[in-house]
Each structure stands twice: as C-alpha cells, then as structure tokens.
Amino acid sequence: MTQTLDAAKAAAAGRSASGAAFDRVLDVVERRRAEFDEKRHVPRDVIEEFKNAGIYRASTPKQFGGDALPPAEFLRLIERIAVVDGSAGWVASFGSSLIYLAALPSQTQAELYADGPDLVFAGGLFPVRPAERVPGGHRVSGRWKFASGCLGADVLGVGIKGGEAKGGRPLTAVLRPEQVEIVENWNVIGMRGTGSHDLVVDGAVVPDEWTFVRGGEPTVDEPLYRYPSVPYAAQVLAVVGLGVARAALDHVIAQGGRASYTGAPVPAERATYRIAVGQAEAQLRSARAYFYETTEEVWATVTAGDPASARQTSSLRLASAHLAKISFEVVRAAYQLGGIAAIADGNPMERYLRDASVVPQHAFLQEGMYDGAGAVLMGVQPFPGYL
C-alpha cells in the first residue's frame, strides 16, 4: 500500500490547480457550456480535464498526495470557472468535498486514494434515511436528492441515521458507483448542467469504516481539516454566484455602447444606466471583499494551531449567505439593464439570471443564515445546526 501511495504521489507531482491545465479548463468550459445545459450534466471527459488541472485533489490530504489548498486559493479557482459557466463552477466546487472524507479512518482513506489523489466525491445526503444495523455496518436502502455531479463521481455518499452510538448525528455512507442507481431527473430552470440527480440504493451493505459524520472529527492532522467544514461547503457554492454575477455585470458594462432598437441614446450616455452599473459594482466588490477577508482570517487562526471560534464560524456562514444574496441582486439588476434583448434564448443574460437564482435557494445560503449570525453576534443561542 505504501509503495502504491508513493507512486501516486510521484506521478501527481506538479499537477496543482494552476497554469496551462487550468487555462485549458476555462477554454473547454467556454466552448462546451451549451452542451452542459443540453445534457443536464458535465460529461466525464470534462471532469477529467478538471482532474488534470488539480481541481479534485484540492482537498485531498497531503499525506495521500493531494494539495490540501488553502480555502481562499480554491475559492478563487471556482470563482474563475463560474465566470465562464455557473454549472461547471458548481460541479468543480465539489473538489472541496474531500474534507468530509477526512473523518473516515486512515486505512479507509488510504484505500480510497490508492490509485491517486484525484478523487471525485458526490453525495445525495438528504433526506436522511434509516438504515438496518447489521454486523459491522449498515444495510442501506432508499432514495436521495440533489447529488450534484453524480454522473462523474468516483465515489458517492448517501445520508443515513446514525443512532445512539453517534449521538443521533446522521452518517454519510460511502459507496462505489456500481452500488448506486442514478435516476436522471434534474429538470430545472437554473444550473441545468450540474446533473443533480436522485440516487437510489437497494440493500447495499456499507461497513462502519466506510461511514462518517459530516463535519466530524478528522483523522488527518493538517490545517485544512481544522477549517470549519460545513461553512466551507456553503462558501464553495456562494462563490459560484459571485462568478456568475461578475460575468453578468461585465456583460452589461461591455454593452454600454450598443445601439438602441428605438433610437434612444446608447446606454453609456444614460445616467440611470451608469448609476445602476456603479451601484452594482460597489455592491459586488464589497460583498466579495468581506467574503475573502473572513476566509483569510479563519485560515490564519487554524494554521496557527487554534480552533475557529463560534463567531468566526458564524462569520463564514454570514459572508456566504450575504454573497449569494448580493450576487443574485446584481445579476437581476444587470438583466434589467440588458433590456428586451436579455429575454432571448441564447442571450447570455438569461442564462446568468437562471443560474444566479439557484444559489441563494440552497439551504446553506438562505436568508435564515442572517438570523443565526445575528444570534451569535448578540450572544444568544442560534437555531439548531447553525454552528
């Protein structure tokens, strides 16, 4: 096993998420984004491009040949992909999800990464289902929703009830694709290319060592796995909205000189257009600055060897929900500035509006997060599950 891991590390040398391979990802996504919408998923050969660029080793522990990137570094990569296409950014964002797998036993992780650190994990964790206890594990059956990127995954997770032994906390059961049926039912308006289909499992036995508590105590002693994992899961999605908003705002800025259908002055000559663009630019950059400032602050804490405080964890959640909200508002303002042309199929504005509308709908990013953050700021107990 050690020899296999060493070989994988050697083969992986120098393939971090930067440089020519990442530039190629951006080019491929730009050329094929319409295909993602049509197929309702990002095809496997594109996932391979993501792997080649290091996206799916970004949260693999260094001890298994991964990069374990600082969160801000990974978030900026996802932001850049999302500028080109929101669905591709969303699927790539799950390059962060291996932080959850760090709660698996070390031997299980060694088996997972035996063929290399570039591992795609996708999960349909809700609704949490009961599972039959069997010797050494669980017999798992049920149907789970919203498994983004599942058609390109190397391993899949589903949510099961943990029982008293885990303090009532739900578990994620890790399965191989051949143990899972994917029901292709992702019929939606926005983020069509994410392939967030249902997962069905029929009586698969999952050993205890292949289950973990999401956000549970990691068995890997590296800084990334001390960073708050559930807030990080919200961050990687919120930053997709940021990328989409940046693209939408850049589009209406570039369109400032376009001729009007009615013969009216070009948009850049109208005060209302200029004011709206200026306000949107300030709003988006402000939310982005708060988002990354909070990320860097918490990262500095955990790399110094200290745990993130409750207030810091809450700040990550607040900054993410706020970024998702502001990003959607910016896209909506940009869409209105786009005028009648924005409603046409094929106009980029209609895609930006559809995709941006999905981000603040996610459970991690809804406006209830403001309630939790306000509670922490004022020293009262937030709603269950917030921290």
Give the per-residue pLDDT at 164. Answer: 62
Backbone angles phi, psi at 369, to 5 degrees: -65, -30
- Per the CB < 8 A criterion, the answer to whether 209 and 109 are in contact is no
pLDDT band at residue 181 under the 50/70/90 scheme: very high
Distance CA 326, CA 37 (A): 24
And the tokens for 58?
A: 């970004």
* pLDDT digits 0-9 by tens, 297-337: 999 999 999 999 999 999 999 999 999 999 999 999 999 99
pLDDT value of position 18: 57
How far apart are alpha carbons 257 and 273 in whole angstroms?
Answer: 11
Element spanning 313, H or E? helix 310-337
The tens digit of pLDDT for each residue in 328-381 reads 999 999 999 999 899 998 899 999 999 999 999 999 999 999 999 999 999 999
Reported as a pLDDT band with limits 50, 70 and 90, residue 260 is confident
Q: Is the pLDDT reported for residue 163 higher than 80? A: no
Cβ neighbours of 69 (radius 10 Å): 22
pLDDT of residue 214: 85
Contact assessment for residue 64 and residue 5, using Cβ atoms and an 8 Å cutoff: yes
Stated as kind and residue range, the H or E segment containing 199 is: strand 197-207
In the predicted structure, residue 266 carries a pLDDT above the cut 60: yes
Q: How far apart are alpha carbons 178 and 387 in whole angstroms?
A: 35
As a whole number, the mean pLDDT across the chain is 93
- What is the model's pLDDT at position 265? 82
Q: Across the strands, what pairs with 133?
A: 138
Handedness of CA 250, 259, 29, 346 (dihedral sign): positive
pLDDT at residue 4 tops 90: no
Give the DSSP H or E segment for 127.
strand 121-129
Which residues share a beta bridge with 173?
158, 211
DSSP state string for 225-272 = GGS-HHHHHHHHHHHHHHHHHHHHHHHHHHGGGPPPTT-PPPGGG-HH
Topology of the domain covering 2-112 = Butyryl-Coa Dehydrogenase, subunit A; domain 1 (1.10.540)
Q: For the chain, what percent of residues have pLDDT higher than 90?
A: 88
DSSP string spanning 46-59? HHHHHHHTTGGGTT
Average pLDDT (382-386) is: 94
State the Cα–Cα distance between residues 31 and 316, nearest whole angstrom.
Answer: 34
Length reported for the chain: 387
What are the residue boundaries of the structural domains of the chain, listed by start?
2-112, 121-212, 227-377
Nearest to 33 by CA among 96, 95, 93, 82: 82
Give CATH superfamily name and number for 227-377.
Butyryl-CoA Dehydrogenase, subunit A, domain 3 (1.20.140.10)
DSSP state for residue 128 in the 8-state scheme: E
DSSP type of residue 113:
T
Residues 159 and 128: beta-carbon distance below 8 Å: yes
Model confidence at 195, pLDDT cuts 50, 70, 90, reads very high
What pLDDT is attached to residue 258?
78
The answer to which of 237-241, 264-268, 309-313 has the lowest mean pLDDT is 264-268
- The model's pLDDT over 72-87, given as tens digits with 9 standing for 90+, comes to 999 999 999 999 999 9
Q: pTM score, two decimals? A: 0.93
7 pLDDT more than 50: no
Dist CA 294 CA 121 (whole Å): 26
CATH number, span 121-212: 2.40.110.10
Nearest-5° angle of CA 357, CA 361, CA 365? 115
